[in-house]
Amino acid sequence: NLSEPCTWTGQFGWGTKEGHFSLPIGGAQIMRFRPRITAFLCQWCGSKGADMAGTSRLKYPSTVTPIRVPCTGRIDLTHVLDALTKSDGVLIGGCYTPSNCHYKHGNYQALKRVELLKVFLKQMGVNPDRVRLEWIRASEGKKFAETIRSFTEQLEKLGPLKTQEEAMPE
Ligand code: FES
C-alpha cells in the first residue's frame, strides 16, 4: 500500500537519495518522497522526549536528524535557515510554557523568533508550515513520535523544499 509510510528497509535493496526511497514493484521503480526533518531539541525536555520515544520503542519516521541544544532560546534564526538548506522541514522541541524552561524565558524567546521567522519565510516564498514549534515534556515520548509522524505527513503534502516559490497558505 503506497499510502502507508515505508517502515521497512533492506530486503528489497532500497536505495536512498536525499530523502527519496526507491520501491521496486512489479519490476518498476517507484520513487517515494520522504521528507528530511531537522529537529532542534532542548536538552531538558525535547531531547528527553525523543529518548523516551526510543526507550518506549515507539515508531516514527527515521528521516529526522536530532540536534540537541541547551535551550530553545539558544536557537538562532540563522540555525533554522541553514537547516532548511539541508532538509524539508525544521522542528523545534522545547519545554512547556509558561514557566518550565530551565533558563526561565528561553521558550518565550523561541516562540517570538519562530513567529518572526514564519513571516520572513513567507516573504522569501517558503511555506512557513515547514517550521514547527512544539512543547514536549521529557515524559512525552508518545507526543514526540506523534509530532514526527504528523509533521512528516504535512511535509509529504508540501513536497521537497524547492528554491522557487511555493504555494502559500491563504
Ligand atoms: Fe527547554 Fe529552555 S530549557 S526550552
The tens digit of pLDDT for each residue in 126-142 reads 999 999 999 999 999 99
DSSP letter string over 61-73? -S-EEEEEES-GG
Residue with cell 502559500: 168
- Measured in Å, residue 74 CA sits from the centre of ligand 1 at 9
- Asked if 106 and 146 count as a contact pair (C-beta separation under 8 A), the reply is no
Per-residue pLDDT at 76 exceeds 50: yes
Per-residue pLDDT at 163 exceeds 90: no
Residue 22 forms beta bridges with which residues?
A: 31
Helix (H, G, I), strand (E, B) or coil at 127: coil
Atom number of ligand 1 nearest to Cα 110: 4
Lowest mean pLDDT among 30-39, 42-51, 129-138: 30-39
pTM of the model: 0.80
Q: Give the pLDDT score at 97.
A: 75
Pocket of ligand 1 (CB under 6 A): 42, 44-45, 71-73, 94-95, 101-103, 106-107
- Measured in Å, residue 43 CA sits from the centre of ligand 1 at 7
Q: Give the pLDDT score at 6.
A: 36
Q: Give the pLDDT score at 27.
A: 59
Per-residue pLDDT at 63 exceeds 50: yes
- Asked if 126 and 88 count as a contact pair (C-beta separation under 8 A), the reply is no
Rounded mean pLDDT of the chain? 84
- Measured in Å, residue 155 CA sits from the centre of ligand 1 at 25
